[in-house]
């Protein structure tokens, strides 16, 4: 259930009327690891299996094979929405993200602010990938056409993953941008397609948490319809990620590692070094 209908009163300049609007559902999901409470996140129900796989992967908690995870549903509400799960994993294979973590509330709107420091990371994404700037526009067209929940409610975000040739591999929606990214990455892990992804695009803005998720998934190009934060740009420069913002109206602004973007009409890509 990605959206539900609520009544409201809509006001105009000289009148008003009762309306029934579709609103994006936001529900909590409590996660335990091996019987120990670990996290509560707010998300849009649906694709919970993909979300859990992607969340554990991008937070560097568990990055082994998807089939090694056993997810037990502990509680559902009266509408059948999963409210609590216990994830069984071999303790000795839990990664540093679990050992360095604490119990926390993950909000759908803001991610895990300040959880990972830049100087804790190792490596830099390097490859010979180049794509046409026009491909980015085509990818956003495909994303827009796939946003069924947004078209109904106007209140959800979306993320999509593509190959370097522009083939769509996965697209997911959620009330939170971070959750949509986790769902996409989890879907790719389950389908053994993560190594095929070269471009990740998201609706809304890009924060440094989304840059971190792209880095952990080894995705070299990250693009958004809106602006990146300053920290997102700084992280992208250090981690080797090509970061684009304001990808709309046949334009895009590249803020880091512009060498991966080619444009026949160069003025459409404003390069910042």
Between the CA atoms of 186, 239, 110 and 77, what dihedral angle is there, to the nearest 10 degrees? Answer: 10
207/214 Cα distance (integer angstroms): 11
The residues that are catalytic are 110
d(CA 201, CA 136): 8
Q: How far apart are CA 108 and CA 124, in angstroms?
A: 28
**What number of other Cβ atoms are within 10 A of residue 118's Cβ?**
12
Strands 157-162 and 168-174: antiparallel
Alpha-carbon radius of gyration of the chain: 19
Q: Is 166 left (phi over 0), alpha (psi -120 to 50) or beta?
A: left
113 is in an annotated binding site: no
246 known ligand binder: yes
Q: Is 251 labelled as part of a ligand binding site?
A: yes
Other Cβ atoms within 10 Å of 50 Cβ, number: 22
Strand 82-88 and strand 242-248: the pairing is unpaired
For residue 225, what are its two tokens? 């319809």
Q: Residue 247, annotated ligand binder?
A: yes
Q: Which residues are annotated as a binding site?
A: 246-251
């Amino acid at each position: 259930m990605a959206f539900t209908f609520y009544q409201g009163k809509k006001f105009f300049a000289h009148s008003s009327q009762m309306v029934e609007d579709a609103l994006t559902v936001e529900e909590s999901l409590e996660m335990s690891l091996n019987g120990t409470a670990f996290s509560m996140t707010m998300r849009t129900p649906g694709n919970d299996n993909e979300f859990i796989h992607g969340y554990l992967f991008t937070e560097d908690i568990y990055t082994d094979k998807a089939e090694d995870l056993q997810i037990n549903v502990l509680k559902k509400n009266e509408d059948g929405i999963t409210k609590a799960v216990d994830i069984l994993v071999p303790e000795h294979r839990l990664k540093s993200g679990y050992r360095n973590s604490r119990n926390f509330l993950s909000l759908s709107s803001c991610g895990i602010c300040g959880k990972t420091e830049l100087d804790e990371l190792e490596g830099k994404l390097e490859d010979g990938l180049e794509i046409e700037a026009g491909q980015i526009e085509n990818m956003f067209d495909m994303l827009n056409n796939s946003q069924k929940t947004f078209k109904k409610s106007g209140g959800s975000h979306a993320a999509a993953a593509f190959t370097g040739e522009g083939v769509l591999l996965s697209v997911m929606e959620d009330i939170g941008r971070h959750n949509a990214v986790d769902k996409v990455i989890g879907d790719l892990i389950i389908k053994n397609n993560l190594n095929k992804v070269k471009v990740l695009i998201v609706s809304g803005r890009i924060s440094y948490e989304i840059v971190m998720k792209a880095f952990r998934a080894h995705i070299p190009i990250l693009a958004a319809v809106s602006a990146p934060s300053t920290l997102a740009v700084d992280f992208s420069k250090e981690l080797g990620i090509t970061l684009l913002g304001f990808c709309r109206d046949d334009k895009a602004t590249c803020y880091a590692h512009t060498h991966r973007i080619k444009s026949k009409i160069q003025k459409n890509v404003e390069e910042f070094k």
